[in-house]
Amino acid sequence: MVERYIDLSGFYDRTGLQPLKEQILDATAEYQGHYKRVYRCLGAAGELRRDLNELLADESVRHKLAKRAAGIISRELKKPGGSGQESQRFLSAVTHQGLVTLWETVEAQANRVYELADSYGLAHDLLNPILTAALAAGHRAIVCPDPMAPDRLAHLIFPDLSLAFVTSAGEAPWPHHAYRRLRLDAMADAEACRANRPRLRFTRKVAAALVDEGVTALTQAKQAHDRLEQLYNPHVDFGGVTTLADQLADQVLALNRI
């Protein structure tokens, strides 16, 4: 047996909670309703950003990005590593406080940071071959997806090389001096940019408005969740929960000693 369920229901004072049933159900429904709106808004914003990328990143643009990636690989990944390992972490997230990026995580693990100035979602096509080459060379990689499009790369960190690549955009710019700064926007299809200026303005404006609306809905969801906690907390035996957690931690640590 490698897993089991932990039943925490015994720590609830059901008698005390019973009179609060309708309030709990209302707060839960409100909380869930706000989250549905969050997913719809952020999903729509993500689709608009993908549309922007497809409009400006044709085969010739991807070829330029691949060529630039090849130069970086030749320059930065000469030294072979050990066994290539990949771990995935979200460095950025959309929260009730807006878009949050933990830049201090990058600072703690990399002295050399490539800043990728990117408004059109081009960074993925540059980062993907770099990641592939780094793993093949045996380097450890921390892979950070785009929170709006988790199938696409936004940042890469190679702790063993003290090297990182970060996507820097208007809503989340890299706040420090960069080892090198690459203007990926300049690599977008210039003719497509000129021919589609109104569409680009509209798409970026609407996508930003959708993200703002998603943030508002997240704030409302948090407020509903806070009310739910206020209803539950006086009727939960947190001391019992802590004791159980300590017991489980001891059991897990004992397994590691076997």
Q: Is the pLDDT of residue 43 over 90?
A: yes
What would the 3-class secondary structure string for the chain be?
CCCCCCCCHHHECHHHHHHHHHHHHHHHHHHHHHHHHHHHHHHHHHHHHHHHHHHHCCHHHHHHHHHHHHHHHHHHCCCCCCCCEEEECCCEEEECCEEEECHHHHHHHCCEEEEEECCCCCHHHHHHHHHHHHHHCCCEEEEEEECCEEEEEEEEEEHHHCEEEEEEECCECCCCCCCEEEEHHHHCCHHHHHHCHHHHHHHHHHHHHHHHHHHHHHHHHHHHHHHHHHHHHHHECHHHHHHHHHHHHHHHHHHHHC
Q: What is the pLDDT of residue 239?
A: 95
Q: Is the pLDDT of residue 234 over 90?
A: yes
Percent above pLDDT 90 for the chain: 77
Residues 125-142: pLDDT tens digits?
Answer: 999 999 999 999 999 999
Q: What's the predicted TM-score (pTM) here?
A: 0.84
